[in-house]
Amino acid sequence: GDSVTQMEGPVTLSEEAFLTINCTYTATGYPSLFWYVQYPGEGLQLLLKATKADDKGSNKGFEATYRKETTSFHLEKGSVQVSDSAVYFCALSDTNTGNQFYFGTGTSLTVIP
């Protein structure tokens, strides 16, 4: 079945450091891939998405490239800020299971000044 495996956390970085959060997936169809973010006390918000192989999703300085050959969708940011502190969830939605999203465990990121 479909699944998402996400890098274990928590992750603590200094401001302006480079961020990578790894995500790999298994899917039976042609999935769309997403990164959601949850700030403290808030719901999950879409950060970025990619709908087909080699697409790059980007938003707020974050990027992720849909790599079919490695079944990966790693999240990156060149210079993190304190305000990026949140929990990040990798997710997929598959053409074969259009009603469902499959999520990873979430990675908690803390950025210290």
**Which residues of the shown chain bind other proteins in the complex (CB under 8 A)?**
4, 29-32, 34, 36, 41-46, 49, 51, 89, 91, 93-95, 98-106
| Minimum separation from the CB atom of position 33 to other proteins (A) | 9
Nearer CB in complex with other proteins: 72/105:
105
Nearer to other proteins, 48 or 80 (CB): 48
Which long-range contacts does 54-58 make (Cβ < 8 Å, 24+ apart)? 57/33
Report the residue number, 12 or 14, with the smaller CB distance to other proteins.
Answer: 12
In the complex, minimum distance from the CB of residue 54 to other proteins, in angstroms, rounded to a whole number: 15
